[in-house]
Amino acid sequence: MTWRNPLRDPRDKRLPRIAGPSSLVIFGVTGDLARKKLMPAIYDLAHRGLLPAGFSLIGFARRDWEHQDFGELVHDSVKEHARTPFKESVWNRLAEGIRFVQGTFDDDDAFDRLAQTVRELDAERGTGGNTAFYLSIPPGAFPVVTKQLARSGLAEADENTWRRVVIEKPFGHDLASAKELNAIVNDVFPEESVFRIDHYLGKETVQNILALRFANQLFEPLWNANYIDHVQITMAEDIGLGGRAGYYDGIGAARDVIQNHLLQLLAFTAMDEPLSFEPKALRAEKAKVLAATKPMGPLEETTARGQYAGGWQGGTKVPGLLQEAGFAKDSTTETYAAVTLEVQNRRWAGVPFYLRTGKRMGRRVTEIAVVFKRAPHLPFDSTSTEELGQNALVIRVQPDEGITLRFGSKVPGTTMEVRDVTMDFGYGHAFTESSPEAYERLILDVLLGEPSLFPVNEEVEISWEILDPVLEHWAKLGTAPEQYPPGSWGPKSADEMLERTGRNWRRP
Ligand code: BG6
């Protein structure tokens, strides 16, 4: 039976939602993600009053630590990375429920101790026997951990309690391995208890794509191949990969980001209106649009890859990927990837969706640019519209969250010169509340048992089906990705990829 939160009356439109009695176990507490995102998000939820009174956090790791050593780690990561201000009273309440269990993943005793700790916390603090297990660990460790959770009885819920598992990407490295991984997880946890994290779906600006499209009359009539020329989805980062070789070498930009975040952005942008925002209805539309999405060929002309070289980035000398610690000296891992996709249905036939992502680029920016066709006829003389581009609606996912509409306007004082101008919506101006971090929303949804923002295995597998042909094409080439200078907008081949079609990448 699921715990029903009395505040969650469906008629209650207020967001404050408080999780029911529960505890959270994190595997991989010493990793970057746990320190920079997960533990700070838990504090932020506590600070917002959205965690239940007896909420307990259990860390599991190899280190020879006592409870207070782990407590210090949480404390330091909260102080450094939490979004909301540090308050002693909030911290002290959270700290009372912090425990640590020392062990390795193949250690039966350690998992038995973990089960014991979960039971004790339930008795002491009233966690209701409800526990979520967050696997912030490499996917190679999923089989052993899920097996241990089954063996120790931790995975088992009775009719009055729940047990959920949260898994971080990558969900495999291709379709075949994703299927294997899904089978391993589903062997222990029923699908409704599996929460696959794609943290982009936790972002306010991403959820807002659905509000923009389906709450307004203005955009949807134009949202199709009759009016839209193409869509550009960009996720650029200015940081390099120092310290991440263990995860990234051999994975690369396409698997790291296009397979999940960018395809989810495409799905939100291209999907049909769901029957409702119930999880089943939303996921059905996402799966449908992803199933219609295919790479547009020929792949040697419609895809591009690159690897950042060493050099100067904004006054700082930075190493190239091949000089970063831990990367193979002849690594062919791409740090930039661009692909052309087509959604093969009536709404989108013939409209290219260009997806690109890269590390060490000009600046950090994620955006979706919906670029419209030119007006079919311009009743001006040609010199008056030389500076007029195509209309575009740009969803600025981050930073500087907002939406920009670009259109032509008469330049004052001229007879009739038309030039592009922009109209802007910025979260910072329109709302006084700052947006919660993606992980706040998603961790809370796990505790509430709200699955809407978590991709199901079907979506994950379809996403690999889309990407696999591109990855196979690159593997067959057997060449190294093209080098690009740090601080640039990627390799030349990516520019050529668009120029060939008479288009250009935006320079956000
Ligand atoms: C992660 C990727 O999923 O997203 C990282 O593995 C990337 O490589 C990160 O840096 C970016 O997240 P955000 O929220 O900062 O855009």
Q: Which helix (H) or strand (E) holds 194?
A: strand 194-197
For 339, which DSSP code? E
CA of 402 to the centre of ligand 1 (A): 19
For 480, which DSSP code? P
CB distance 367 to ligand 1 below 6 Å: no
CA of 235 to the centre of ligand 1 (A): 9
Superfamily of domain covering 23-168: NAD(P)-binding Rossmann-like Domain (3.40.50.720)
Same fold, 23-168 and 201-373+452-499: no
Q: Is 286 annotated as a binding residue?
A: no
Distance CA 77, CA 69 (A): 13
- Tell me the CB-side half-sphere exposure of residue 93, using CA atoms within 13 A: 18
* Ligand 1, atom 15: closest residue by C-alpha: 237
CA of 232 to the centre of ligand 1 (A): 19
Residue 266: other Cβ atoms inside 10 A: 24
Annotated catalytic residue, options 230, 261, 377, 473: 261
**Can you list the residues of the chain whose pLDDT is less than 70?**
1-16
In 3-state terms, what secondary structure has residue 183? helix
CB distance 198 to ligand 1 below 6 Å: no
440-452 residue pLDDT tens: 999 999 999 999 9
CB distance 237 to ligand 1 below 6 Å: yes
CB distance 256 to ligand 1 below 6 Å: yes
Residues 6+ apart with CB under 8 A from 357: 234, 235, 236, 237, 253, 254, 256, 257, 258, 262, 336, 337, 338
261 is catalytic: yes
Residue extents of the structural domains in the chain: 23-168, 201-373+452-499
Superfamily of domain covering 201-373+452-499: Dihydrodipicolinate Reductase; domain 2 (3.30.360.10)
Q: Is 359 annotated as a binding residue?
A: yes
188-244 residue pLDDT tens: 999 999 999 999 999 999 999 999 999 999 999 999 999 999 999 999 999 999 989
Q: Is 203 annotated as a binding residue?
A: yes
Q: Are 35 and 73 in contact (CB under 8 A)?
A: yes
CA of 329 to the centre of ligand 1 (A): 24
CA of 323 to the centre of ligand 1 (A): 21
Q: Is 164 annotated as a binding residue?
A: no
CB distance 168 to ligand 1 below 6 Å: no
Closest ligand 1 atom number to CA of residue 398: 16
**Which of 237, 259, 335, 366 to mutate for ligand 1's pocket (most ligand atoms within 8 Å of CB)?**
237
The reported pLDDT for the residue numbered 443 is: 98
Instruction: Fill in the amino acid letter for 213.
Output: R
Tell me how far CA of residue 501 lies from CA of 32, 111, 295, 470, 495, in angstroms.
Answer: 41, 57, 15, 19, 10
